[in-house]
Structure 1
Amino acid sequence: MESTEVESEILRRVRSLLRQLDGHHPACQCDRGMLRWTLHKKIDQNPSNSSMLVSILVKELERAERGDFRHYIIPLLHTLMYTLIKAPCISDELCGRVYDFCKKLLTLPKPFCTIGLDYAARLKMERAAPGTLYQRMVIAEQSLKSDPYPYQEKIFIFADPELLSEAICNALVTDTEAAQVAQSPRACMCYVITHAMEAALGEGCDSSGLKASLQAMSLSEVEHWFQQVVAAVESAGHEASADRAQHAARLEKIHQAVLSSLQAGNAPLGGLQGTPLPNPNISFHLWTEEEQLWKELVLFIRPAAQSCEPECLSQELDAFEMQDILCGCECCLQPRFSVLSTDSGIERDLPLPAEDSLPPSPEPEHSRLHRKGGMRKKPSPLESVAFLQAGCNGAGLKPPGKLQRRAAPAPGPAALLQRLHTARILLLGDDRILGRLARAYHSLRKRETRRAFLTPRLNLQFYYIPVVAEQPSTSPSSPSKHLVTDLFLTDVIAYYARMGTQPVCFQVYAVKLFFNDPAQEPAEDVFLTELRSQVQDSTSPRELSLTKKKTALDGPGIDLTVTYRKVVLSDRAKELALALRSTGLLMKAIPADEAEDLLCLNVTITEIIRINNLSGRSFSAVANRLRTQNINIRSTEQRPFTVCLDKDSRRTYRNVISLEVSPCLEPSYCLQKTRTLKLSLHGAEDGGLVKYLPKSLLLPINTFAGVIQ
């Protein structure tokens, strides 16, 4: 196909993308993402057309910026950058045009300026050292060992087992496993070497000879040249006076050295062939346990290959947080066990044993102190602080076999810790799995406040793909055949995780529930999307008869008192109280309208209004709406109601007579505030470090665009 025909075909596909963004394309309501995916696959089949696609996308972006079609900019820019990362070679002139466009975005509001700044910084580094973005992505996602760039990333897919059918789960497992088949460390190192050569040398790179030479090498030789290439690319990216020609000269020497191992005439000189971008390391999990997220993150920090027996991983995790000494396990070099004793353990304090049982002693006196042997208790690996600290390579940490005391921390080691690991948590489900994430995130933050382990070492990124309930008429096998073959699901997830870098912060709300049984302790929980309350059906015949009489007189529902702080534009607190009769209420934490404030509860109370007329007494239901962040609701007649959080039937509370809802506080803020109040002479709540800490607990979920202003 001639270049003009290829360019016309690519332009047609790009225009189809734009029509989809306008909502005029037939695929705008179904198969979202398919047009972009097929466009990338078309380029992957012939990587030499990458420059043509980048050029077309730059023209469309410039036209959108001039015509004020801002809704085109972010999707096209993500597609362009993804193409540029995978492209075998893009000219400096074309990269310069993309760089200039990204700088223009700095004059626009968020998120355009944020995305433009991020991509401009990446492009500046890519222009100085071509191939840097591809190299860093592969090293991190495949966990390749590299001193110049020691970062690791992994995608954890957590799916709701009650929502996803068995066929979809099997398709995801098959898809992720198929994506890992050709992603051995050796293959990925060869990809990095080849792509770096093509990006820097262009048509001067003998791609065929390079691949043949690497194929004939041993693993140690491939690793040697991989380290040489990574060091050359990273050094060029960090140099202040980095020059593209100088970088090309460095890689040309490595290029010739690698080709010299191949016998002359074995492979002809080939042009640019392109290098595939391996899919990231993905693990699939059905979220069935409360502590499942925490366990997976701990094992990611300390890989399973270094851990202990897998059957111990299901034990409780909280014990390690209160331990003052390091506990080991049998697979460690220096095992230590906790000693349980009910006495002092000093030998002279014990009753004397029989003479025949006394061990021989070189000294006649027994005044020296000896520790009594105790019962050995084998802890869970995840309970052990030694297990956790063994996963950290930070300088200054004591070896796991030695006893550590609770003392003032040294100033050095804490500052040396780096977040070398990135865990990308991707959720598949609906509001129920979002609520479960909010609970797990709140629990993790509380755990990290008591003893920080993950926070200094792990960068957490959250993603969410909504899944609707499967219709009965659809076949269970419909989503999988061609999708699994073409790795569509894995490719879409990888694109979302790689390019979705703009977080939207959602307020987590805390709820405290009081029950009609005075002996029952109040319950505390959190929710992210909604809280729904309904009048509870009476259980006993006596209560049922009283309810019928009350309903006949005052109408259905129960009498409530509502106290809340009204949200006003001036941001001034305004306390209001009202009494009404209601059959239920709904609190929505996430507004349906994108223009509304995210940090606000939209409460709808179904109020029962009594109407007296000539025909008698009647009742009507009216929706009473209010906006607030803090609200208290109490049943005045002590009749209970039910409360369901985040549409999850497993999180339904019964026999509730009162509830309090407020923004969930950040645990570190609460801890620091408590310490400040104890140490402060005047009891100032906002003194010390408290005023510098975030007060509310916000859950950031990554998107492609963030909040558009």
Structure 2
Amino acid sequence: MQHTSCTEDRIHHALERCLHRLSQSSSADTWSAGLCMNRWSLEELVNRDPENFLILLQQILKKTREVQEQCEYILVAPLALMFFSTALQTPYFPPHCDLLREACEVYHSFLTWPEPYCSVCRDLLTFIHQELKAPGISYHRLVREEQGLATDNQQSKTITVLLMNPSDIPPEFLAVSEQLSNVRHSQKDAYIILIKHAYQSAFGARYPLDCMQKVLESKKVEELSSIFSDITDILETAVSVEDIDKAREHLLEDLERLREKIGLPAPNSKKSEGMLQTLSLPIARCHTYHWDKDNFDILNEIFQAECDLAEAQPQPDEGEDDEEEEEDVEEEEVAVNGCVDHRASTFSTVSILSTASKDSMLSNNSFSSISSSSSGPSRLSVASGMDSDFCEDTEEESSTDKTPKARARLGKRISMLFKSKSSNSLNRAKSLGNTEAKDYVTIRSKRSNSLPQQVHLQSPENMFLRNVCYRRRPILSCDEDTKTTTLRVVVFGADQITGKVARAYSNLRLQESRCPRLTRLFKLQFFFIPVKRNSSSPAVGVSSPGSLSDSPGRGSMAVDPSLPCLEDSTNDIAQYLGMLDPWYKRNMLSLLNLPVEVLCQQTSKTEPDVSSSTRERLPILADMVLYYCRHAARPVLVQLYQAELMLAGGMKRTEVFIHSLELGHTAGTRAVKASGPVCKRFGIDGDREAVPLTLEIVYNKVSVSGRNQWSKVNKICTSVNLTKACKKPEELDSKMECLQLTMTEVLKRQNSKSKKGYNQQLNTTQVKVDKVQVSGACNTTFAVCLDQDERKIFQSVTRCEISVCYKPESGMHWRIRKALSSQPLCPEFCSLLCLPISTFSGAHS
């Protein structure tokens, strides 16, 4: 039996607690309130002694071997991320320590595992190889970029922006964000800590840091800047050398020569004269903004403050050539968080829709025929999906369509859409690690015989097969390789705020297509931190609008247990990300289970200081936010949806949503609640007191089998709600990417001359769909609310059409490395447009 010290036992136990119940579902985890604190507690324990870092790395490697033997896929990414964050802050790796080389052997075996595990381990191996050549270079780069320290050869920078709505989040969160924003390290302090870290990483305790501190403090900022620039060049030169031993040798020699320039005394002997110190990462420079808009105009302040305005002058409009260039930019390779991810098209749980979903998504001609028979031409047509690209400015769309070039392009695309092709097989992506199938997925879609359309039902010979290749990409895809500044956008809130982010992201694409500003200089990364919506907001603290009362009296809110209750505010998107990435669930989603007082209390952890006069105490929440921003490098592409609204006056609007669409009484009740104290005058009724709406509903039902079934029904409903189906693990399957349609139908209504009408019998129907059209019959109008946002409620809507956000493409810019023998001829290409939200490991298969 191997004897261990008390410290090793404590670190081993803390590591086990970090991984405890990580692979279990949330329903089985009834004691999850403090699980998110385990990683933070482990870091607190390790930071007490520099030797603890090596102990933790040994424990992680030991656990990784066990995971490999037992094939516990779910633990691979957390262990790799923990190894990275620990090695990043390890003060010194002694020459006789083979931990990094041993880690190379361990994690190299995971390169044959499927995605995302192989990508996580590949990035970790890159980090290890760089650290073997130039110890401390990753720490140096991270701090240099976060503190905005540039040299002649290195201009990269990272800016962190915290966006929060004061009416939706607790005031303690605002206080923490303000504290993060107020921390500003001077250039001199940042230079000193990086110079000290470079020498400690290379020589250990050979040069005492206390002595170095005094020497560096006596120098001017210009001198420190020159020393910092030399150290940066030394590290970058060493990491570019192929041979590890030669790189390390040159690094030590160059740092020794630089020591004389700094003025550090030479050591009396080869023995260490000082002690190792733990130099934790300084607080990143953050900017906090109060944000409640559907746009990112507030980021222009960062643009003005941080960028050279001369480089950001918009290019003049050159007419038709610019239109072609705009399409080319939109059809580029998926580029998220600064890297091109060719595996995004085969994302295990969110990569493709089912065959049925794709069929309904592209069979817009059939859908428009249904709607045209009752309410005129529909914007949810082939043209709307291709040209508008979810543009809210209908005037601009109409003017664009009038041009002959746009008309010709539209006609060509429509003819391609209805062009008959042949296909005999359904190609699967097979293993996520398959290099032959990772760039595209070929799908055979067949029009269903059950389409509610008289023309196609009477003419079955017109049915055809279409071969369509799909991939997911963000709405805003552009070349990220030439950009040196990364802009982290961290958003706090519930599902309502993710809807604002989705619409702001969509609007940003429209702005950047006309006049590129932010995307020309910034690599955009989006981070989402779930927060329970503040009970003081207008839409919280009142009984749910979906609650149904047993009594016909006004304001009676007793809940009928037989009918579902719609929540005022949810965190379904965060739950969705948590099911895809368990490490996100453990570190971010679990924050919802902790009291605000615990998250925002001051801790004993102090900010590393270069001068003993200033010490910053970090709240736990601040530490969690910084950990998330620094280590969440893989985005999950969350599908966006579009709603085409026809208002009573004839005006059309196109809106984007990400989580939910509420129609009828549910949206009207939310509007009443948003009115604040005035809502007491109106009263808030349940569905039993609601005025029924006569609606014509057409929807495409999807199933796991891949079949689609169109249905056309006439119902008298109080409300019709659509929510992203993402609450159960089985709904994460690519074939089930859909919306949950909930219809509350009035089966029997009691009318009285002396009393208010009363819906005596209600029935709720739930169907999984991917395409819906709701029209008001007999001049019926209704209200529509997007993503539980009280500011996104539309009144007097006559027709609402919902579908997946997508964009047909030419396929010219799709990089298909090797054509499969079963690939169909002349396939059609289509991009499903998504919002990229950063997670730690992406989606688990």
Same fold (TM over 0.5): yes
8 Å contact 2:600–2:621 — kept in the other structure? no
Partner of 1:448: 512
2:785 is the counterpart of 1:644: yes
Distance in structure 1 (CA, Å) of the matches to 2:116 and 2:232:
32
Distance in structure 2 (CA, Å) of the matches to 1:261 and 1:537:
72
Say which SS state the counterpart of residue 217 (structure 2) adopts. Answer: helix
**Letter of the structure 1 residue corresponding to residue 38 of structure 2:** L
Distance in structure 2 (CA, Å) of the matches to 1:171 and 1:530:
30
Partner of 2:586: none
2:621 is the counterpart of 1:525: no
Kindly tell me: are residues 117 and 198 of structure 1, through their superposed partners in 2, closer, same or farther at Cα, counting changes over 3 Å? same
Partner of 1:281: 285
Kindly tell me: are residues 250 and 565 of structure 1, through their superposed partners in 2, closer, same or farther at Cα, counting changes over 3 Å? farther
Distance in structure 2 (CA, Å) of the matches to 1:537 and 1:166:
29
Deviations along 1:111-147, one digit per CA (max 9) or x if unpaired, are 2122112212222222222111111111111110123
Say which SS state the counterpart of residue 661 (structure 1) adopts. Answer: strand
2:50 is the counterpart of 1:47: yes
Aligned pairs for 1:627-638 (under 5 A) are 627-638=768-779
Distance in structure 2 (CA, Å) of the matches to 1:61 and 1:3:
19
TM-score normalised according to structure 1 size: 0.72
Partner of 2:229: 227
> Which residue of 94, 99, 103 corresponds with 1:94?
99
Aligned-pair identity in percent equals 21
Kindly tell me: are residues 301 and 96 of structure 1, through their superposed partners in 2, closer, same or farther at Cα, counting changes over 3 Å? farther
2:73 is the counterpart of 1:66: no
2:198 is the counterpart of 1:196: yes
Partner of 2:164: 159
Kindly tell me: are residues 305 and 459 of structure 1, through their superposed partners in 2, closer, same or farther at Cα, counting changes over 3 Å? closer
Distance in structure 2 (CA, Å) of the matches to 1:321 and 1:609:
60
Partner of 1:338: none
2:629 is the counterpart of 1:513: no
Deviations along 1:346-373, one digit per CA (max 9) or x if unpaired, are xxxxxxxxxxxxxxxxxxxxxxxxxxxx
Distance in structure 1 (CA, Å) of the matches to 2:730 and 2:29:
27
Aligned-residue offset at 1:587: 0.9
Partner of 2:836: 700
2:119 is the counterpart of 1:114: yes
Aligned-residue offset at 1:471: 6.5
> Which residue of 465, 489, 500 corresponds with 2:529?
465
Distance in structure 1 (CA, Å) of the matches to 2:221 and 2:668:
70
CA RMSD of aligned residues (A): 3.9
Say which SS state the counterpart of residue 644 (structure 2) adopts. Answer: strand
Distance in structure 2 (CA, Å) of the matches to 1:113 and 1:499:
17
Deviations along 1:584-642, one digit per CA (max 9) or x if unpaired, are 12211251123324742221222344699xxxx99643332333322111122222222
**Letter of the structure 2 residue corresponding to residue 526 of structure 1:** V
Deviates more, 1:570-579 or 1:44-53: 570-579
**Letter of the structure 1 residue corresponding to residue 20 of structure 2:** R
8 Å contact 1:641–1:656 — kept in the other structure? yes
Aligned-residue offset at 1:506: 0.9
> Which residue of 103, 111, 134 corresponds with 2:108?
103
Aligned-residue offset at 1:174: 2.3
**Letter of the structure 2 residue corresponding to residue 169 of structure 1:** L
Distance in structure 2 (CA, Å) of the matches to 1:562 and 1:588:
16
Kindly tell me: are residues 537 and 487 of structure 1, through their superposed partners in 2, closer, same or farther at Cα, counting changes over 3 Å? closer
Aligned-residue offset at 1:251: 4.1
Aligned-residue offset at 1:30: 1.9
Deviations along 1:402-447, one digit per CA (max 9) or x if unpaired, are xxxxxxxxxxxx9998111111111111111111101100001112
Kindly tell me: are residues 611 and 29 of structure 1, through their superposed partners in 2, closer, same or farther at Cα, counting changes over 3 Å? same
Aligned-residue offset at 1:212: 2.8
> Which residue of 419, 431, 434 corresponds with 2:483?
419
Say which SS state the counterpart of residue 115 (structure 2) adopts. Answer: coil
8 Å contact 1:20–1:28 — kept in the other structure? no
> Which residue of 664, 685, 695 corresponds with 1:534?
664
8 Å contact 1:128–1:236 — kept in the other structure? yes
Distance in structure 1 (CA, Å) of the matches to 2:153 and 2:265:
28
> Which residue of 796, 801, 810 corresponds with 1:660?
801
Deviations along 1:181-221, one digit per CA (max 9) or x if unpaired, are 4x222222222222222222234444333333222222122
Partner of 2:36: 33
Distance in structure 2 (CA, Å) of the matches to 1:216 and 1:527:
57
Kindly tell me: are residues 287 and 582 of structure 1, through their superposed partners in 2, closer, same or farther at Cα, counting changes over 3 Å? same
2:586 is the counterpart of 1:584: no
Deviates more, 1:100-109 or 1:629-638: 100-109
8 Å contact 2:746–2:759 — kept in the other structure? no
8 Å contact 1:43–1:49 — kept in the other structure? yes
> Which one has more relative contact order, counting CA pairs under 8 Å at least 6 apart?
2
**Letter of the structure 2 residue corresponding to residue 287 of structure 1:** W
Aligned pairs for 1:334-345 (under 5 A) are none
Distance in structure 2 (CA, Å) of the matches to 1:416 and 1:73:
28
8 Å contact 2:57–2:87 — kept in the other structure? yes
Distance in structure 1 (CA, Å) of the matches to 2:514 and 2:191:
40
**Letter of the structure 1 residue corresponding to residue 238 of structure 2:** A
Kindly tell me: are residues 504 and 590 of structure 1, through their superposed partners in 2, closer, same or farther at Cα, counting changes over 3 Å? farther
Kindly tell me: are residues 289 and 605 of structure 1, through their superposed partners in 2, closer, same or farther at Cα, counting changes over 3 Å? closer
**Letter of the structure 2 residue corresponding to residue 75 of structure 1:** P
2:762 is the counterpart of 1:621: yes
Partner of 2:339: none
Distance in structure 2 (CA, Å) of the matches to 1:172 and 1:537:
34
> Which residue of 718, 731, 752 corresponds with 1:596?
731
Say which SS state the counterpart of residue 297 (structure 2) adopts. Answer: helix
8 Å contact 1:424–1:461 — kept in the other structure? yes
Kindly tell me: are residues 479 and 705 of structure 1, through their superposed partners in 2, closer, same or farther at Cα, counting changes over 3 Å? closer
Partner of 1:358: none
Partner of 1:85: 88
> Which residue of 599, 604, 625 corresponds with 1:493?
625
Aligned pairs for 1:561-580 (under 5 A) are 561-569=696-704, 575-580=710-715
Distance in structure 1 (CA, Å) of the matches to 2:179 and 2:518:
30
8 Å contact 1:229–1:254 — kept in the other structure? no
Q: Which has the larger radius of gyration?
A: 1
8 Å contact 1:214–1:258 — kept in the other structure? no
Distance in structure 2 (CA, Å) of the matches to 1:663 and 1:513:
15
Distance in structure 2 (CA, Å) of the matches to 1:579 and 1:221:
78
8 Å contact 1:175–1:489 — kept in the other structure? no
Aligned pairs for 1:87-486 (under 5 A) are 87-91=90-94, 93-177=98-182, 180-181=183-184, 183-243=185-245, 244-254=247-257, 256-258=259-261, 260-262=263-265, 269-291=273-295, 293-296=296-299, 298-303=300-305, 418-470=482-534, 480-483=600-603, 485-486=617-618
Kindly tell me: are residues 225 and 3 of structure 1, through their superposed partners in 2, closer, same or farther at Cα, counting changes over 3 Å? farther
8 Å contact 2:599–2:619 — kept in the other structure? no
Deviations along 1:524-553, one digit per CA (max 9) or x if unpaired, are 211111011124889xxxxxxxxxxxx99x
Distance in structure 2 (CA, Å) of the matches to 1:500 and 1:222:
32
Kindly tell me: are residues 151 and 27 of structure 1, through their superposed partners in 2, closer, same or farther at Cα, counting changes over 3 Å? farther
8 Å contact 2:8–2:55 — kept in the other structure? yes
Kindly tell me: are residues 276 and 575 of structure 1, through their superposed partners in 2, closer, same or farther at Cα, counting changes over 3 Å? same
Aligned-residue offset at 1:664: 2.4
8 Å contact 1:21–1:28 — kept in the other structure? no
Aligned-residue offset at 1:236: 1.4
Kindly tell me: are residues 415 and 40 of structure 1, through their superposed partners in 2, closer, same or farther at Cα, counting changes over 3 Å? closer
Say which SS state the counterpart of residue 425 (structure 1) adopts. Answer: strand
Distance in structure 2 (CA, Å) of the matches to 1:253 and 1:618:
85
**Letter of the structure 1 residue corresponding to residue 720 of structure 2:** L
8 Å contact 1:190–1:214 — kept in the other structure? yes
**Letter of the structure 2 residue corresponding to residue 63 of structure 1:** E
8 Å contact 1:512–1:661 — kept in the other structure? yes
**Letter of the structure 2 residue corresponding to residue 602 of structure 1:** Q
